[in-house]
C-alpha cells in the first residue's frame, strides 16, 4: 500500500512551488510534510517528532497548540469575519489591537499601520518615509540606507532594503534609491579589533554613507536590532548608541525592524527596549500573532503620525486585509497571554539565561568557533579552525550538513552559511532546553564524524 505521506509528497512535488527552496531538488526528494504540532514539538506525516528550535520561522512565540487562540479566531469569525479599514471604516479588534500595541511600544510610539506580513510592513516603511519627508517640505530626502546581509522581506521593497546578494541577483534589485553599508558582524569581519572598536567602525560607515550621499538626500536608515536571517548577529555594545548619534545629527529617520526581535524574543517586549534604541518606525509581524494567523504592521512615532494626520489628503496605501478582524483578534489574545502569563519576564529571568548557559557547554566542541546569544536567540559558528576563525570550504555546506543531521536527531535548526541558528518558542521549559542542547551536541558530533570520514 502506498503511504499517505508519499501521496501528499507527490501532490506537492507536482503542483507546488515553494519559497526559499531549490524546487527541482525538493521535487526529487519530497517535502517534509508537517501535520501536527504541540508545545515546542512538531510531527511529520510519517509520525516523526522534532523539537522545533526555530519556532516555525522565528514566530511561534507562544508555542503550538494554544486553544485560546483558536477560540478567539472562531469567535471573531462568527461575529465579523471580515471588514476592511479603507474609506473611513474600522473594526473593533483592529482598534483594540492598535491601542494595546501603543501601550506596549516605547512611550513616543502610539500608532500602528496594519499589514499582513513583515515584507508588507517594510514596503509600507519605504513609502511612508518618503511621503513623510515630502510632507515636511523635503521631497529630496528619499534614499534609504540598509545593511549588507540585512533581511527585511521578500517583496520588491523588502528585498531591496535587505542586503542579501542572492536575493538582489534575482530580479535586478535593489530598486533605485536604496544603499547599503557594512554589517556589525564582529566574528566574521572584526579581524583583530576589539568588539567595541569594531562596533564603532561599523556604525561610522553610516556617517560616511550619509556624507557621501548628502544628508539632504537621505530619508532613513533601516536595520534589525539583531540581524536574524543574516546569522543572529548581535552588534557590539558601542554600535547602537553611535548609530543613534548619527541619525540624530543628520536628521535621518531610524527604522528598527522588529519583525523577529519584537514580542519577547530578546527577553524584552522589543529589541529597541533591549538596546535602548529610539526608533521612528518599527515594522512588526511574526510574534505579534505567534504566527497563528498572518498579521504585521508598522509602529509609527508620534511626530510622523501627526504629520500624516495633518496632511489634508489620503495616504494612498493599504491592503485589503490590513487589520483583518480575525487576525487582529488572535493577535490580541496572543498579547494577552504573553502579558498575563508573564512569559517575557520568565524568558528574561529564567529560561533564556538557562538556554544560553547550557549552549555554552558545546563551546569546546572542535567544530565550534563561537556561541553567542541574547534572550531566545542563539548562534553557533562552525569553523575549520577555532583560533583563526577560518571557515570550511563550500560556502555553507557544513551548516547545511549539520542542519540535516540535526533533523535525524529530531531537532529543527536553521543554517545561514555555516552558522547554526536557534530561536525556540518563548515557552520552552528547562527540560526541553536540555533536550535541545543534547540533540544539538549530537548533531555537531555527527557533523564532525561526517567531515572526518571525507578526509
Ligand atoms: N523583517 C525581518 C527582520 C524578518 O526576519 C522577516 C522575515 N523573516 C521579514 C522582515 C519579512 O517578514 P515576512 O516573511 O512576514 O514578509
Is the domain of 308 the same as that of 267?
yes
Q: What is the pLDDT of residue 146?
A: 98
Choose the final residue of a domain: 324, 341, 358: 341
In a domain, 13, yes or no: no
Q: What is the pLDDT of residue 3?
A: 86
Number of the ligand 1 atom closest to the C-alpha atom of 285: 15
Q: Does residue 455 carry a pLDDT above 90?
A: no
Is the domain of 234 the same as that of 89?
yes
List the beta strands (DSSP E) in 76-151.
Answer: 109-115, 143-147
In a domain, 24, yes or no: no
Q: What is the pLDDT of residue 62?
A: 98
Please tell me the distance between residue 283's alpha carbon and the centre of ligand 1 in angstroms. 9
In a domain, 447, yes or no: yes
Q: What is the pLDDT of residue 2?
A: 73
Which residue, by CA, sits nearest to atom 12 of ligand 1?
Answer: 118
Which residue, by CA, sits nearest to atom 1 of ligand 1?
Answer: 152
Please give the tally of structural domains in the chain: 2
* Percent above pLDDT 90 for the chain: 98
With a 6 Å cutoff on the Cβ, whether 116 touches ligand 1 is no
Is the domain of 302 the same as that of 440?
no
Q: What is the pLDDT of residue 349?
A: 98
Rounded distance between C-alpha atoms, residue 233 and residue 235, angstroms: 6
Q: What is the pLDDT of residue 184?
A: 98
With a 6 Å cutoff on the Cβ, whether 376 touches ligand 1 is no
Q: What is the pLDDT of residue 70?
A: 98
SS3 state at 181? strand
Number of the ligand 1 atom closest to the C-alpha atom of 120: 16
List CB contacts of 139: < 8 A, sequence separation 6 or more: 133
State how far Cα 101 lies from the chain centre: 18
Across 22-28, average pLDDT: 92
Is the domain of 390 the same as that of 445?
yes
ipTM: 0.99
Please tell me the distance between residue 121's alpha carbon and the centre of ligand 1 in angstroms. 9
Is the domain of 163 the same as that of 309?
yes
Strand order in the sheet with 411-412: 34-38, 41-44, 49-52, 411-412
Choose the final residue of a domain: 341, 372, 398: 341
CATH of the domain at 375: 3.90.1150.10
With a 6 Å cutoff on the Cβ, whether 381 touches ligand 1 is no
Q: Give per-residue pLDDT as tens, 129-176.
A: 999 999 999 999 999 999 999 999 999 999 999 999 999 999 999 999
Q: Which of 120, 153, 255 to mutate to test the pocket of ligand 1 (most atoms within 8 A of CB)?
A: 153
Q: What is the mean pLDDT of the chain?
A: 97
List CB contacts of 248: < 8 A, sequence separation 6 or more: none
* Percent above pLDDT 70 for the chain: 100
SS3 state at 243? helix
Is the domain of 330 the same as that of 202?
yes
CATH of the domain at 204: 3.40.640.10
Choose the final residue of a domain: 341, 372, 399: 341
Is the domain of 233 the same as that of 336?
yes
Across 349-369, average pLDDT: 98
Number of the ligand 1 atom closest to the C-alpha atom of 296: 15
With a 6 Å cutoff on the Cβ, whether 153 touches ligand 1 is yes
Across 310-339, average pLDDT: 97
Is the domain of 45 the same as that of 149?
no
Q: Give per-residue pLDDT as tens, 392-414.
A: 999 899 999 999 999 999 999 99
Is the domain of 373 the same as that of 328?
no
In a domain, 440, yes or no: yes
Please tell me the distance between residue 442's alpha carbon and the centre of ligand 1 in angstroms. 30
In a domain, 443, yes or no: yes
Across 230-241, average pLDDT: 98
Rounded distance between C-alpha atoms, residue 455 and residue 453, angstroms: 6
Number of the ligand 1 atom closest to the C-alpha atom of 119: 16
Q: Does residue 15 carry a pLDDT above 90?
A: yes
| CB distance 105 to 366 below 8 Å | no
Domain that holds residue 88: 68-341
In a domain, 401, yes or no: yes
Which residue, by CA, sits nearest to atom 13 of ligand 1?
Answer: 118
Please tell me the distance between residue 250's alpha carbon and the centre of ligand 1 in angstroms. 28
Helices (H), 162-216: 165-169, 186-189, 195-213
Neighbours of 24 (CB within 10 A): 8
Is the domain of 98 the same as that of 224?
yes
Please tell me the distance between residue 2's alpha carbon and the centre of ligand 1 in angstroms. 38
In a domain, 442, yes or no: yes
Q: Does residue 83 carry a pLDDT above 80?
A: yes
In a domain, 23, yes or no: no
Is the domain of 131 the same as that of 163?
yes
List CB contacts of 115: < 8 A, sequence separation 6 or more: 121, 123, 124, 285, 295, 296, 297, 298, 319, 322
Is the domain of 42 the same as that of 76?
no
Q: What is the pLDDT of residue 1?
A: 60
Amino acid at each position: 500500500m502506498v503511504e499517505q505521506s508519499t501521496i501528499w509528497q507527490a501532490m506537492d512535488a507536482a503542483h507546488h512551488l515553494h519559497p526559499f527552496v531549490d524546487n527541482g531538488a525538493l521535487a526529487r526528494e519530497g517535502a517534509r510534510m508537517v501535520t501536527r504540532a504541540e508545545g515546542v514539538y512538531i510531527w511529520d506525516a510519517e509520525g516523526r517528532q522534532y523539537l522545533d528550535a526555530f519556532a516555525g520561522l522565528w514566530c511561534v512565540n507562544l508555542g503550538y497548540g494554544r486553544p485560546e487562540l483558536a477560540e478567539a479566531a472562531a469567535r471573531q469569525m462568527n461575529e465579523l469575519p471580515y471588514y476592511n479599514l479603507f474609506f473611513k471604516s474600522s473594526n473593533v479588534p483592529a482598534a483594540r489591537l492598535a491601542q494595546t500595541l501603543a501601550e506596549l511600544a516605547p512611550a513616543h510610539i502610539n500608532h500602528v499601520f496594519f499589514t499582513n506580513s513583515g515584507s508588507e510592513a517594510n514596503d509600507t516603511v519605504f513609502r511612508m518615509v518618503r511621503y513623510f519627508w515630502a510632507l515636511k517640505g523635503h521631497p529630496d530626502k528619499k534614499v534609504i540606507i540598509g545593511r549588507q546581509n540585512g533581511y527585511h522581506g521578500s517583496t520588491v521593497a523588502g528585498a531591496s532594503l535587505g542586503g542579501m546578494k542572492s536575493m538582489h541577483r534575482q530580479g535586478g534589485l535593489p530598486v533605485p534609491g536604496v544603499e547599503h553599508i557594512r554589517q556589525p558582524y564582529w566574528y566574521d569581519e572584526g579581524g583583530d579589533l576589539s568588539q567595541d572598536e569594531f562596533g564603532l567602525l561599523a556604525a561610522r560607515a553610516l556617517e560616511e554613507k550619509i556624507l557621501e550621499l548628502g544628508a539632504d538626500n537621505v530619508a532613513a536608515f533601516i536595520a534589525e536590532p539583531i540581524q536574524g536571517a543574516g546569522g543572529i548577529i548581535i552588534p557590539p555594545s558601542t554600535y547602537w548608541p553611535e548609530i543613534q548619534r548619527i541619525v540624530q545629527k543628520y536628521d535621518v529617520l531610524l527604522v528598527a525592524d522588529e519583525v523577529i526581535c519584537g514580542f519577547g524574543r530578546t527577553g524584552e517586549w522589543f529589541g529597541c527596549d533591549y538596546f535602548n534604541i529610539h526608533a521612528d518606525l518599527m515594522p512588526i509581524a511574526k510574534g505579534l500573532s505567534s504566527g497563528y494567523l498572518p498579521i504585521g504592521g508598522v509602529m509609527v512615532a508620534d511626530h510622523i503620525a501627526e504629520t500624516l494626520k495633518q496632511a489634508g489628503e489620503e495616504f494612498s496605501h493599504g491592503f485589503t486585509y490590513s487589520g483583518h478582524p480575525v487576525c487582529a483578534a488572535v493577535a490580541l489574545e496572543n498579547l494577552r497571554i504573553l502579558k498575563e502569563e508573564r512569559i517575557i519576564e520568565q524568558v528574561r529571568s529564567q529560561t533564556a539565561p538557562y538556554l544560553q548557559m547550557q549552549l555554552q557547554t558545546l563551546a569546546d566542541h572542535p567544530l565550534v568557533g563561537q556561541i553567542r546569544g541574547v534572550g531566545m536567540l542563539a548562534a553557533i559558528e562552525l569553523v575549520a579552525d577555532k583560533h583563526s576563525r577560518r571557515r570550511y570550504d563550500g560556502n555553507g555546506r557544513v551548516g547545511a550538513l549539520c542542519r540535516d543531521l540535526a533533523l535525524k536527531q529530531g531537532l529543527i535548526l536553521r543554517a545561514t552559511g555555516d552558522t547554526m541558528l536557534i530561536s525556540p518558542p518563548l515557552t520552552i521549559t528547562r527540560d526541553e532546553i536540555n533536550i535541545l542542547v543534547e540533540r544539538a551536541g549530537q548533531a555537531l558530533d555527527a557533523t564532525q564524524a561526517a567531515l572526518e570520514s571525507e578526509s
